[in-house]
Structure 1
């Protein structure tokens, strides 16, 4: 299986690339900065240097030929402004879906955010006035991207993790359509993506996830 990961230099994406290659599959890391090529190659991935904020879906579709599935794990980052929450967290996710559909790649896994639909509509506007307003724009961008994906004829999975940790993976999670606030290691989010793809589970399902007591494969099968 050949899997393209948007936001390929992100922490979840790097962990996922290693999991994919260790499982005997091919990872393609979509990155914007050529300086990150070595980092993704060290995880066993092939680098695809393309700016998702600038590329159109026709060009991206050409670059994705031969791919079996796509993962959107990109994000504008904590220090970016409200405008880039829209152009990366929303628009780039939609461009990836457009390109995937154009070449018949139907499997799409989205790494979203817990509580994405709970944004304050009055504050989630550009230009933002404060840091918290920027966060509201981020939630709105994630919510709108997720809604766009749900409406498509794709075999989609939308994962909405809680607060992300850099701790070792536990391998066990708590998943449901909504779950109480909590946290989860990035490594467990990467494992969720891998199992959803390789086991072909949680198709057409949007769910929230935090650390819990259920092994990841069993948790995903229960959602299917």
Structure 2
């Protein structure tokens, strides 16, 4: 049994991942910021831990992560949150988790980013520019963290049912992908140690999820 700490467990990808891990017999620790979300995580089959990553210390988060085999960071401030919270959640939350993982004894770290976050953007793009900057900077910090990282950059996210098939590569070109398939991809990466050190884009495609991870983990130059 693998124990996975999920930061952003109440989000649309996070809750799918909690359910998926529970269904396959793994333990999901869901880090959430509101008391009512703790019970929701339990209903999905996980264990909820109340902790606000915008105000928590490294020591507090490390305590919550202790006992986990891996951390999945899928938190985000969300639409309408404004540039400041995108910086404190999407970037600051990731940096906090990266710092808290080693003292908790956790080396494996999977981060959900977004397709195109490194692309140039007009300076007057407001919230969008803040989102891209926060995600890009968080990914850059993770790549230099010394952790066993994997960065997943999905295209446009949908609530369509899982197809079980994706396109996964360093660059896939634009497209959409279901949140169910992203959750399955995270689980497949957790099962594949060789996926560490890779940054991939993902969209809907024709390769079974686990097969795509195996093939890309063996592809020369796939790691960033």
Q: Which residue of 2 aligns with 1:203?
A: 196
Question: Which ranges of structure 1 fall in alignment gaps of 5 or more residues?
Answer: 124-131
Q: Which residue of 1 aligns with 2:28?
A: 27
Alignment of 1:66-215 (within 5 A): 66-120=67-121, 122-123=123-124, 132-215=125-208
Partner Cα distance (2:163, 2:80) in 1: 29
What is the TM-score with the length of structure 1 in the denominator?
A: 0.94
Any idea what SS the aligned residue of 1:168 has?
coil
Deviations 1:95-120 (A, max 9, x none): 01100022220000000000010142
Q: Runs in 1 of length 4+ with deviation above 6 angstroms?
A: none
Work out whether residues 52 and 88 of structure 1, in 8 Å CA contact, stay in contact via their aligned partners in 2. yes
Displacement after TM superposition at 1:199 (Å): 2.9
Question: Which ranges of structure 2 fall in alignment gaps of 5 or more residues?
Answer: 218-224
Displacement after TM superposition at 1:169 (Å): 0.3
Partner Cα distance (2:170, 2:90) in 1: 21
The reply to whether residue 222 of structure 1 matches residue 215 of structure 2 is yes
Displacement after TM superposition at 1:121 (Å): 6.7
Any idea what SS the aligned residue of 1:116 has?
coil
Partner Cα distance (1:64, 1:107) in 2: 12
Q: Which residue of 1 aligns with 2:221?
A: none
Work out whether residues 182 and 211 of structure 1, in 8 Å CA contact, stay in contact via their aligned partners in 2. yes
What is the TM-score with the length of structure 2 in the denominator?
A: 0.94
**Cα RMSD between the aligned structures?**
1.1
Work out whether residues 155 and 175 of structure 2, in 8 Å CA contact, stay in contact via their aligned partners in 1. yes
